[in-house]
Every structure is written in C-alpha cells, then in structure tokens.
Amino acid sequence: MRISDILRVKGEQVITVTPETSTERLLAVLAEHGIGAAVVSRDGAVVDGIVSERDVVRALAARGAAVLTEPVSSIATAKVRTVTPEAQLEDVERLMTERRFRHVPVVVDGALRGVVSIGDVVKNRIGELETERSTLAGYITGERV
C-alpha cells in the first residue's frame, strides 16, 4: 500500500504553526485538533520543522514553565524526515520504528500534502490483519467470506 492510498481516505489536511507561535498556543492547537504534533511552517506549505508533544515535555522538564512563552522554533526539530505520496506504507512504518517518531509529513515538490501518523499506520495494519483473518477462517471452515 502506498501513502497516497492513506491520504485518499484521511485527506490532505495538515495542522501547521508558524515558527513564532508560542509553545502555549501550540498546546492549545494540539488540544483543539486532538493531535500530537504540528508541522512548523512559515507559509503553510514549506516544512520548516516539526514539533510534537514530546518536544514540549522535554523542554518543560529541562527549562521549566518559561518554555510556554518561547516560540516553538526553540523546541522544534528542524531536520524533518518527509516522504512522497508514492512511498510504501511498510517503509514509513520502518522509518517511524527506527527513528522513534510518530509523524511523517508528506511532501510534493517542496509543498506539504499531508501527514501520516502512527495512528494511521496502526489503523491500516489492523484492517489488513482483519481481512487476512477472515480469509483464513473462510478457508478453514469452507465458508465463503
């Protein structure tokens, strides 16, 4: 399965914040949308970084509540791993597992086209396992599924 198949179902919407956005505002954005990370972008298209709840927790533990009024650029990851819609889901799964992150922005010609999260990956995997399970059950019982 390709990443484009996942985006076709979930859509291309990506929540972005500008680098100047305060960490406090970022937390409100994450809570409002029920997400764990936002792409940092000056124009909503170019990926300037990524910032997740994990970055906030780490910065709070290291520097305390002062972080809340700092811009997200001070806690975000600048070197972002991205994929194209043609990437295979299995490769993105491997990337997330090896690099230990749960979000991968999808980019085409330098512009954001979506984001894949670990939740999308797990949802897809469960669907595949369920299909496989019912096919195998059909073989065993001789019932058509």
Residue 54 near ligand AMP by CB under 6 A? yes
Report which of 15, 85, 80 is spatially closest to residue 48, judged by C-alpha positions: 80
- Choices 5-13, 61-69, 95-103, 120-128; region in contact with ligand AMP by CB under 6 A: 95-103
Residue 105 Cβ, how far from ligand AMP at the closest point, in Å? Answer: 6
Q: For residue 139, what are the CA distances in angstroms to 78, 108, 134?
A: 50, 42, 9
Helices (H) and strands (E) counted in the chain, each on its own, are 5, 5
Residue among 3, 38, 50, 112 that touches ligand AMP (CB under 6 A): 50
Residue among 10, 77, 87, 93 that touches ligand AMP (CB under 6 A): 77
Residue among 103, 113, 116, 120 that touches ligand AMP (CB under 6 A): 103
Residue 69 burial (CB count, 10 A): 10
Residue among 16, 23, 41, 52 that touches ligand AMP (CB under 6 A): 52
Cα separation, 34 vs 37, in Å, equals 9
Query: Which 5-34 positions form the footprint of ligand AMP (CB under 6 A)?
Result: none
Q: What are phi and psi of 30, to 5 degrees?
A: -60, -45
Residues that bind ligand AMP (CB under 6 A): 36-37, 50-52, 54-55, 77, 80-81, 101-104
